[in-house]
Chains A and B, each alone.
Chain A
Amino acid sequence: MNAPAIPEPYPADSVGLVTPQRVAIDTPLQLDCGRTLARFDLTVETYGTLNATASNAILVCHALSGDHHAAGYHSPADRKPGWWDNCIGPGKPLDTRRFFVVSLNNLGGCRGSTGPNTFNPESGRLWGPDFPLLTVRDWVRSQALLADTLGIEQWAAAIGGSLGGMQVMQWTIDLPHRVRHACVIAAAPKLSAQNIAFNEIARQAILSDPEFHGGRFYEHNVVPSRGLKLARMLGHITYLSDAAMRQRFGSELKLAAPAFNFDVEFEVESYLRHQGQSFVDRFDANTYLLMTKALDYFDPARDFGDSLAEALRRATARYMVIAFSSDWRFSPARSREIVRALVEAGRDVSYALIDSQLGHDDFLMPIPEYHRVLGAFLERVANDIGPTGAPT
């Protein structure tokens, strides 16, 4: 499962070639919706080496459209590395010489883990709309079973951005003894009405596509590409700041004069159409619906009289909360709500506000100030482990 020696074409700070593994989990999983999954598979990538006491493991939780492929390359022909390659590798903040990094495709995903586009043994066909809707708490339970399988009793740290950060928070509340450090990046304590509104439009775009077929589009050999494309285009607007869009695309016509039709006339239209189309090629519409619902349902305070501080009193992890100044999807004010609750609960927490330009997407960017503070936090995580981790 570990990365082999890095071949020549890859930079020295890359984990190099990686091979995803499918981990079968045969323990029944009780879900928040009341249903139970008898068994499930998770697609997983790991980077670095687990030490003898299994004390150097870091869980990376992915966001809405992420997957297990966080770092390195699947083949020498790959044009791009994993989605968080700038942060994971030898000498990077998630230093694979010290940490054993675990990245998975969440349950309900569409990249090999059990989800709507996989085979349902009970019905004998693809799950499709029969796949249960999930919550962030369900993901934490499924990830805990994965940790059991990997022999990891306690994560040295759990880390994630956006929806990934929400999973990290939920981990520290539901299974406090299993997380020593928690890094919550560009997240929110729960979605705002505006956040839910964007998700609802995205879902309606998919649900109203005639080729959605009630989620059974696989059996019709079609994909609801128009709906999924629209959903992704909408999402991308919320990932970028107004200033970043203005700088990247401007609002000048591509031609000398208006053509008075609905073809691409502005750069931003071209960008959104491209993003939408490439998403259709790699993502599943049912998974998109499921992921947005998990976001909408996320509210760890709900079971604690709507008090996030009360929820966090159970937690024991040391927290690092990071927000980005130009993020309006989950703005710094939302991160400050988390910090405020953590302080009220008397938890150890540091908060960094990164001066940024791009918007929500900045959590994926190698901003020096961001990686410096993340590196400082992970240095503490490494110090807590002690010198048992064998260098790779």
Chain B
Amino acid sequence: MHISEGFLSPQALAAGWTITAAGVAWGLKKMDQEKIVRVAMASSVFFLASLVNIRVGPSSAHLALIGPIGLILGWTAFPAILTALLLQAVLFQFGGILVLGANTTVMAAPAVLVYLVFGQAVRGAGKKNAKIAGAAAFLAGSLAVMASAGIAGMFLFLSDREMALTAKTILAVHLPLSIIEGAAALFMTIFLKRTFPDILSGVERS
């Protein structure tokens, strides 16, 4: 999922940084100071999840948990993911510093997107809404991965038209992962709803 250094054109890098800057500013503005520990926790989970590798056919992909992060953090996903990606780049050599903006956009934008689309449905309480909430959580998890792969593909395609095939490959590779991520999102929300339902209420100022 991480785009490596050297693939993107300066324009694509700049676009990535612009979107990231806007998202981070908005996310920090909306963040509730009292709940910053949750942000740090979600950020840590994201940071560590990338170490879990899953073999997908000939290549391997790693867990990203973009959906659950988005559902928990909302707009704050931008600063949380930016920090986690920075640490991943420095400590694990994933991605790079120049492409950090683009990579943050690739992973944080889908997180915010699923939060806006599925957040309400996932938070729905009561037995009646349980099935809808579950389906929403699964969709949030799997669609977030596909959206992320789509944005990554778009960045590559915008940088170099010859990357069209690469973009398609990225989408194809992430299809199986999206199912795994969907399931992960489903189980995480079921677990969180039982043990700590408050966490799904977001970290934004009310």
Do chains A and B interact in one complex? no
- Give chain A's interface residues, CB within 8 Å of chain B: none
- Give chain B's interface residues, CB within 8 Å of chain A: none
